[in-house]
Amino acid sequence: MAGVTRPMSQMRKLETKEALFRARKRILKYLVLGYLKQEGFFHTAETFTAEAALTGDYEVCDNIDLDIILQDYCSYYLIRFNKQPQFCRKLEEQRPPRRPQTRKTRERTEPVVSAECVCEKGPDLPSTFTVTKLLKDEQSLQTIPAVERKSLSAFLNHATPDKKQLVELLYQDIIRPTGVSWDDVKGLTSAKSLLMESVVYPVRYPEVFTGLLEPWRGVLLHGPPGTGKTLLARAVAGESCCTFFNVSCSTIVNKWRGESEKIVKVLFEMASYYSPSIIFMDEVETLASDRSSPGEHEASRRLKAQLLTELDGIGGRDGIIFLLANSNMPWEIDPAMLRRLEKRIFIPLPDLKTREELFQNYLNVKNVELFPKVDFKELASKTEGYSGSDIKLVCKEALMSTVRKMLPSMSGKGNVPNRKDRLDLTDILTAIEKTKPVSKNLTRRHEEWQSEMGCS
Ligand SMILES: Nc1ncnc2c1ncn2[C@@H]1O[C@H](COP(=O)(O)OP(=O)(O)OP(=O)(O)O)[C@@H](O)[C@H]1O
Ligand SMILES: [Mg+2]
């Protein structure tokens, strides 16, 4: 009866707390379910759905999963305590004598320890606890990026406070796998296979890529805007198990004299420590523009010289370091830098087949109903000269037009669950009319540059 005598405000607070607790439990279950599906444990996911009584009313949002949460927690922990958090303990070779089990406890624990999973009792855990070995062998260790395995504090040992600051700055530029895979990049087959042979295979089979077969040191992707250059780089980050340094001009260019050169030096040291590493420079012409251009500042010239020296030293450093550069204007890049970007690949506007795939990718989804049936090939033939990004905009504009029609009749703030947008051919054709391609005129110049300077 105590609850009845509680003031209303206190009751409400309790209810909110309880609701939050329930919501958290629900989120956890859906995250686990999402993870199981993502990893291909479909039977387990089915059993889990039934056991946890999950309904189809919710699903994990697009930009979140357990892996990302774990990585974020690791980064937070590292910055806060300067070490990696420990989640699992390595199991001892020699098992301690087990406590005698009664028949009752054995019955209770046995189903948990299946024959397939490597489960053992921890040395000083109560007999009802089970420690599951997450990593099965040394091989699995190789698939974890070095940045997760190696401690930053070991790298910072004996570093000066200045250097520590620069390391911290660069550490923020390391990006974790983004979930983008090769399949997300439509078309561009030759660029994908070249990146595989430059980054993915040398890391996987280092013994093959020695001597004359030494992996490429640098690759430049150039092409008109919106053709998927950055997306390709994100796929490399997701697929390669390398430490991915996403270096922007703002990180490296420092207003203090000499500081930029130091940043570049520390960048290559870190890349070597966390090897295999990819140093990614988007819009590389901003960092390595032609040094002979008029008005070139002395500090900027020194920064470029340092960059070139470090790139030359890549071969002599420990581990694999690979430079991936993107550019919209390759003709502005310094020739010495170009020489170090051994492969120069043209990323063209999407061809008919790729445009069809892109339309399919954006419109053939479960929350869009196409009525009457739309022929994606027809859409592709009407969008010659459009980049991947232009096609994305067309699809967005078409969807917006249907949402615009719906908006006045929508009431209240609540989101509409299981919403399905109805789209017909005229909506898409109007969107194509309205969206003009931005990159069409630039293609010729890139093609000319490729035939003169390219190497793919
Ligand atoms: N080949 C492709 N496959 C799938 N999506 C693509 C492709 N090309 C472009 N896109 C879409 O266009 C968006 C923009 O592409 P991205 O940022 O990679 O272009 P970019 O070539 O780097 O452009 P910029 O040179 O302006 O930086 C991507 O997020 C993606 O949604
Ligand atoms: Mg880009």
**Could you tell me what percent of the chain has a pLDDT over 90?**
28
Q: Are 332 and 222 in contact (CB under 8 A)?
A: no
Q: Are 376 and 423 in contact (CB under 8 A)?
A: no
287: alpha, beta or left? (left if phi > 0; alpha if psi -120 to 50): alpha
CA-nearest residue for atom 26, ligand 1, is: 225
Please say if the pLDDT value at position 109 is more than 50.
no
Q: Average per-residue pLDDT in the chain? A: 80
Which amino acid would we find at residue 228?
Answer: G
Residue-level pLDDT at 56: 77
> pTM for this one?
0.69
* Nearest alpha-carbon partner for 326 in 410, 436, 237: 237
Q: Which CATH number fits domain 352-406+419-438: 2.60.40.420, 1.10.8.60, 3.40.190.10, 3.40.50.2020?
A: 1.10.8.60
391 ligand 1 Cβ < 6 A: no
Of 43-57, 132-146, 250-264, 298-312, which gets the smallest average pLDDT?
Answer: 132-146
Task: Please list, residue by residue across 312-350, b when 16 or more beta carbons sit within 10 angstroms of its beta carbon and e when fewer do.
Answer: eebeebebbbbbbbbbbbbeebbebbbebbebbbbbbbb
189-208 residue pLDDT tens: 989 998 888 888 888 888 88
- Residue 354 binned pLDDT confidence (cut-offs 50, 70, 90): very high
- Residue 358 binned pLDDT confidence (cut-offs 50, 70, 90): very high
Q: How far apart are CA 152 and CA 141, in angstroms?
A: 18
Residue-level pLDDT at 110: 41
Please say if the pLDDT value at position 8 is more than 80.
no
Distance 230 CA to ligand 2 centre (A): 4
> What's the rounded mean pLDDT across residues 239-257?
81
185 ligand 1 Cβ < 6 A: yes
Residue-level pLDDT at 14: 66
What residues have their beta carbon closer than 5 A to ion ligand 2?
229-230
- Residue 353 binned pLDDT confidence (cut-offs 50, 70, 90): very high
Residue-level pLDDT at 331: 94
Residue-level pLDDT at 292: 76
Of 310-314, 357-361, 378-382, 391-395, which gets the smallest average pLDDT?
Answer: 310-314
188 ligand 1 Cβ < 6 A: yes
> What's the rounded mean pLDDT across residues 136-146?
58
- Residue 94 binned pLDDT confidence (cut-offs 50, 70, 90): low
- Residue 257 binned pLDDT confidence (cut-offs 50, 70, 90): low
Residue-level pLDDT at 10: 67
* Nearest alpha-carbon partner for 270 in 317, 232, 312, 325: 317
CA-nearest residue for atom 31, ligand 1, is: 389
Residue-level pLDDT at 140: 52
Q: Are 28 and 64 in contact (CB under 8 A)?
A: no
Distance 354 CA to ligand 1 centre (A): 13
Distance 440 CA to ligand 2 centre (A): 16
Residue-level pLDDT at 194: 86
263 backbone dihedrals φ, ψ, rounded to 5° = -60, -45
Q: Which of 83-92, 119-128, 309-318, 422-431 has the highest mean pLDDT?
A: 422-431
**Probe target for ligand 1 pocket from 178, 188, 189, 230, with the most ligand atoms within 8 Å of CB:** 230
Please say if the pLDDT value at position 19 is more than 50.
yes
Q: Which two tokens stand for residue 279?
A: 């140093």
Q: C-alpha dihedral over 269, 272, 274, 276, to 10 degrees? A: 150
Ligand nearest to the backbone CA of 182: 1
Q: How far apart are CA 323 and CA 319, in angstroms?
A: 13
- Residue 387 binned pLDDT confidence (cut-offs 50, 70, 90): very high
Q: How far apart are CA 395 and CA 46, in angstroms?
A: 34
Tell which wins on pLDDT, 389 or 126.
389
Tell which wins on pLDDT, 48 or 84.
48
* Nearest alpha-carbon partner for 31 in 78, 70, 84, 75: 70
Tell me which architecture the domain covering 146-346 has in CATH. 3-Layer(aba) Sandwich (3.40)
Q: Are 234 and 181 in contact (CB under 8 A)?
A: no
Task: Please list, residue by residue across 181-214, b when 16 or more beta carbons sit within 10 angstroms of its beta carbon and e when fewer do.
Answer: ebeebbbbeebbebbbebbbbbbeeeeebeeeee
Distance 432 CA to ligand 2 centre (A): 23
CA-nearest residue for atom 1, ligand 1, is: 186
330 ligand 1 Cβ < 6 A: no
- Residue 127 binned pLDDT confidence (cut-offs 50, 70, 90): low
Q: How far apart are CA 58 and CA 69, in angstroms?
A: 19
**Probe target for ligand 1 pocket from 392, 393, 439, 442, with the most ligand atoms within 8 Å of CB:** 392
> What's the rounded mean pLDDT across residues 248-268?
82
Please say if the pLDDT value at position 366 is more than 70.
yes
Q: What angle do CA 13, 16, 19 make, to 5 degrees?
A: 150
- Residue 411 binned pLDDT confidence (cut-offs 50, 70, 90): low
Q: Are 336 and 308 in contact (CB under 8 A)?
A: yes
- Residue 95 binned pLDDT confidence (cut-offs 50, 70, 90): low
* Domain residue spans of the chain: 111-140, 146-346, 352-406+419-438
For ligand 1, what atom is nearest to the CA of residue 185?
Answer: 3
> What's the rounded mean pLDDT across residues 57-85?
78
Residue-level pLDDT at 97: 52
Distance 328 CA to ligand 2 centre (A): 8
279-297 residue pLDDT tens: 999 999 988 888 777 767 7
Residue-level pLDDT at 330: 95
Residue-level pLDDT at 119: 42
Distance 77 CA to ligand 1 centre (A): 33
Tell which wins on pLDDT, 98 or 167.
167
